[in-house]
Amino acid sequence: MTILSVNINKIALIRNSRGANNPNVVQVALDCERFGAQGITLHPRPDERHAKYSDVQELKQTIHTELNVEGYPTEKFMQVVCAAQPAQVTLVPDPPQAITSNSGWDTKTNFALLQEIIQELHAHNIRSSIFVNPEQEMIEYAAKIGCKRIELYTEPYAANYSFNKEQAIAPYIACAQFAADCGLQVNAGHDLSLENLAYFKQQLPVLHEVSIGHALVCDALYLGLEKTIQLYREQLK
């Protein structure tokens, strides 16, 4: 079974636009779970333009499924996640000014940094995941670093899916199996949608978890949140 973790950053962005607590991020997370989400993902950035650091602790104390917190391991980020102890932290190499994540880690160049961070996460009983491009060398070094999972960056797959889906998926098939052979569990995320998710799942039998936010929230504007989550779950069966 592949787990659907719903990224609620876009909900937080709407909340922040009015400076109040509407929509209530925690209540939306609970509703996502009630509608079938098997996890909740949050990606607080240093400027807190959508998810806030305070959301991490509040969600950890409230939700019933796994909390996955994404982000770059700044000192503040590490303080927050080590205090909250979510089920999983996914390390993402995005600088503070980035609009969204646009590449995976160079795990070879950043080996020492990532190894130190991973050890700290494990010391706090937090499962570690490293966001990587579908490149076997990066996965090999991620395994050497000692993380438990990788998250495959899927924007290149999504961008090329409508042109040649077999070519688009090929590096992900090879890298997912390579990761499994290295003893890593495989997550995936970025621009996965109702259009391309089912094929991605079918081709990657080792896929453990997908994290989806932007496309899911956009679909929910038309279909409603409950129906949308059900449709995404259907794609993963």
Active site residues: 43, 70, 190
The number of beta carbons lying within 10 Å of the beta carbon of residue 122 is 14
List phi, psi (to 5°) of 119: -60, -40
Query: What is the Cβ-side half-sphere exposure of residue 174, based on CA atoms within 13 angstroms?
Result: 12
**Which residues lie below 8 Å from residue 76, measured CB to CB, with a gap of 6+?**
46, 53
Is residue 191 left, alpha or beta, with left meaning phi > 0 and alpha meaning psi from -120 to 50?
A: left
